């Protein structure tokens, strides 16, 4: 099935060393012999065995990627950007998942990564981080974990994303756009803190809060209260919740953005497809991938938290 150097050596009549020289493009080989060996290798589709190579060189060219959720929270966008960056540098992404409640399976999986991967990138659903579990992993496995978008400083490597500051900046931007009254509808800590940071600025913008969940149905169910608030703009925990509000609005004949403007969070794949396109805070996928590669390459220079991008779309006025 898989031809080896040794077999190539036997079949060609030359030694392993010479065959190796040819296949590794090293000098000091008789051109004629080189040609013969090259042909033989191509004919037999020689491909080096990665397991043997890793073992011998003591180098691991896989990078583990751990996702909590394949369908939400724009994690797929991050995976996409990271995958592209990894492959470009010759690394192979090993895909895994952390399912809350299935920690044992996760550990089993990680143990099969030892020896082929050195780093493991973890994309946790933030605000939902089980720090203890990750710290245990950090100690238990001969793997270097890189935690993305996670505030703890105890963990070996981190790619911090400043959600709080990004929310704050978004609020400032809304104030600049002459909005009068912003309602925050949600319950996630980072969003709340960002709102509070913005409040400290004494903006000419009234800010009020409505406690609600972060799912589609939460946004839909909060609809009446959102309207009752009299706000001219509403910010939701997630694009999902914002999409729920869209449905409520459609049912009630509420016009977006004429009656009320809407901002979501995560910039999901569908945000642009909704009508009107939903303004949202986008994760800096590219920059995250870059940082991760810096860490893996050993030149970890930048440590400042990354910012999210405020994507203005037609769910805001004058877009």
Partner DNA sequence: CTGAAAGCGCTAACAC
Partner DNA sequence: GTGTTAGCGCTTTCAG
CB proximity list for 139: less than 8 A, separation 6 or greater: none
- 56 or 303, CB closer to a copy of itself? 56
User: For a copy of itself, which residue of 270, 300, 302, 319 counts as binding (CB under 8 A)?
Assistant: 270
**DSSP strand E in the chain: where?**
62-67, 92-97, 117-123, 144-148, 157-159, 181-186, 206-211, 233-236, 261-266, 279-282, 309-311
Q: Residue 296, interface with a copy of itself (CB under 8 A)?
A: no
Residue 17 interacts, among DNA, a copy of itself, none and using kind-specific CB cut-offs from 5 to 8 Å, with: DNA
- Rounded-to-integer distance, Cα 120 and Cα 96, Å: 10
Q: What's the closest the beta carbon of residue 16 comes to DNA, in angstroms? A: 5
Identify residues 106-135 at the interface with a copy of itself (CB under 8 A): 108-109, 111-116
User: For DNA, which residue of 10, 35, 43, 55 counts as binding (CB under 7 A)?
Assistant: 55
Report the SS3 class of residue 219: helix
User: For DNA, which residue of 10, 11, 25, 28 counts as binding (CB under 7 A)?
Assistant: 28
Contact yes or no for 233/183 (Cβ under 8 A):
yes
Contact yes or no for 120/63 (Cβ under 8 A):
yes
- 18 or 214, CB closer to DNA? 18
Instruction: Report which secondary-structure segment, H or E, holds 136.
Output: helix 131-140
Cβ neighbours around 255 below 10 Å, total: 11
Q: Residue 59, interface with DNA (CB under 7 A)?
A: no
Q: Residue 25, interface with DNA (CB under 7 A)?
A: no
Q: What's the closest the beta carbon of residue 2 comes to DNA, in angstroms? A: 7
Q: How would DSSP label each residue in 29-59?
A: --HHHHHHHHHHHHHTT----HHHHHHHHT-
CA 3, 6, 9, 13 torsion-angle sign: negative
Which pair of tokens denotes residue 297?
Answer: 């390459």
Q: Residue 275, interface with a copy of itself (CB under 8 A)?
A: yes
Identify residues 25-64 at the interface with a copy of itself (CB under 8 A): 45, 47-55, 60-62
Q: What's the closest the beta carbon of residue 1 comes to a copy of itself, in angstroms? A: 5
Residue 116 interacts, among a copy of itself, DNA, none and using kind-specific CB cut-offs from 5 to 8 Å, with: a copy of itself
Q: What's the closest the beta carbon of residue 7 comes to a copy of itself, in angstroms? A: 12
User: For a copy of itself, which residue of 25, 31, 101, 139 counts as binding (CB under 8 A)?
Assistant: 139
Closest among 85, 136, 89 to 110, alpha carbons compared: 136
Q: Residue 253, interface with a copy of itself (CB under 8 A)?
A: no
Instruction: Report which secondary-structure segment, H or E, holds 216.
Output: helix 216-221
Q: Residue 18, interface with DNA (CB under 7 A)?
A: yes
Q: Residue 60, interface with DNA (CB under 7 A)?
A: no
Closest among 266, 276, 49, 59 to 170, alpha carbons compared: 266
Residue 5 interacts, among DNA, a copy of itself, none and using kind-specific CB cut-offs from 5 to 8 Å, with: DNA
Interface residues with DNA (CB under 7 A)?
2, 4-6, 14-18, 20-21, 23-24, 27-30, 33, 48-49, 52-53, 55-58, 115
């Amino acid at each position: 099935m898989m031809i080896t150097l040794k077999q190539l050596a036997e079949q060609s009549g030359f030694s392993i060393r010479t065959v190796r020289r040819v296949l590794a493009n090293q000098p000091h080989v008789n051109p004629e012999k080189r040609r013969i060996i090259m042909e033989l290798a191509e004919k037999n589709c020689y491909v080096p065995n990665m397991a043997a190579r890793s073992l011998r060189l003591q180098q691991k060219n896989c990078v583990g990627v751990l996702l909590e959720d394949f369908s939400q929270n724009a994690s797929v966008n991050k995976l996409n950007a990271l995958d592209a960056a990894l492959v470009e540098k010759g690394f192979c992404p090993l895909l895994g998942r952390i399912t809350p409640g299935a920690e044992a399976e996760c550990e089993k999986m990680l143990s099969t990564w030892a020896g082929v991967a050195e780093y493991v990138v973890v994309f946790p659903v933030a605000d939902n981080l089980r720090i203890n579990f990750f710290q245990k992993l950090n100690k238990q496995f001969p793997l270097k974990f890189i935690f993305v978008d996670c505030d703890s400083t105890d963990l070996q490597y981190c790619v911090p994303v400043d959600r709080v500051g990004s929310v704050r900046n978004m609020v400032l931007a809304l104030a600049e756009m002459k909005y009068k009254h912003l309602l925050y509808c949600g319950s996630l800590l980072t969003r709340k803190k960002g709102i509070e940071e913005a409040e400290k600025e004494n903006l000419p913008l009234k800010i009020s809060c409505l406690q609600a969940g972060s799912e589609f149905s939460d946004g839909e169910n909060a609809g009446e209260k959102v309207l009752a608030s009299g706000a001219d703009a509403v910010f939701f925990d997630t694009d999902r919740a914002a999409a729920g509000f869209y449905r409520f609005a459609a049912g009630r004949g509420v016009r977006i953005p004429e009656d009320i403007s809407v901002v979501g969070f995560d910039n999901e794949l569908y945000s642009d497809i909704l009508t009107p396109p939903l303004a949202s805070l986008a994760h800096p996928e590219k920059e995250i991938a870059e940082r991760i590669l810096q860490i893996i390459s050993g030149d970890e220079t930048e440590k400042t938290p990354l910012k999210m991008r405020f994507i203005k779309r037609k769910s805001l006025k004058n877009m």
